[in-house]
Amino acid sequence: MLNRKSWKNTPNGWFNEKDDLITVLSEQHITGSVRYCNVFHCSRCYKRYYLPWMLKRHAKKCMPSFDNIVYEQNDLSIAYVNVDSSPLERLICERISRISQVESGWDFPLLHMNNWLNTDIRSHAFLLLKDRSIISYLAIRDQKLLHDKELKDNRILSDIFTIHSYRQKGYAKILLLNALEFLGEPFESLVFLTPFTDKGSNFVSAISKSLGVLKISTCH
């Protein structure tokens, strides 16, 4: 058995070309690399590489752009992606959802190719960019849920993820509140997909308290 080790003197994890820590992986997590267990992602398109020099070569020419920018302030902007967006924009969201899946423990990514095509679920994705690099992402879907034996339309927050280097700085809150404003959806009517991770539960509790919302709606 080959001795697997990290490229860096850090826990096994995923990084981008700016050395921002995207997420931490367990030492047992198999990345596909034979010897090294860190994985490197482009901060603009989230394509992954197992060798850092390959990422740096890719990053020099990677220039994706988003057609629908719904928020801009200083060095921050928010891009909106839906079924009508370009295939690359949708693919970027799918890639980030796969990263979120690893940390949240779901058996499958919560936003994938078939979501866009499902006529019973309308998917919305939002990306928070800082200096053109993606630092946070969320997915909301429109779906009918059963309430008092009647199917009613709901907006469900199914996935939210911020790379580790930018957590606890208010970026996820900025992204969520501006996404809801764009969709015309009040926070108190939003439904949250459960179960939460511990960090997800802390985030929902903190933002609910800051907005004065005493009770949130959840679904499985």
- How many Å apart are CA 99 and CA 141, to the nearest integer? 19
Other beta carbons within 10 angstroms of residue 118's beta carbon come to 12
| C-alpha–C-alpha distance, residues 94 and 70, integer Å | 20
When pLDDT is cut at 50, 70 and 90, the band that residue 155 belongs to is: very high
Distant-in-sequence, close-in-space partners of 46: CB < 8 Å, separation ≥ 6: 92, 95, 96, 99, 134
pLDDT digits (tens, 9 = 90+) for 27-70: 665 555 545 568 889 999 999 998 888 999 999 999 999 999 99
Tell me the whole-structure pTM to 2 decimals. 0.90
- List Cα–Cα distances, 116 to 5, 109, 170, in angstroms: 38, 13, 29
pLDDT at 2 > cutoff 60: no
Between 71 and 15, the more confident residue is: 71
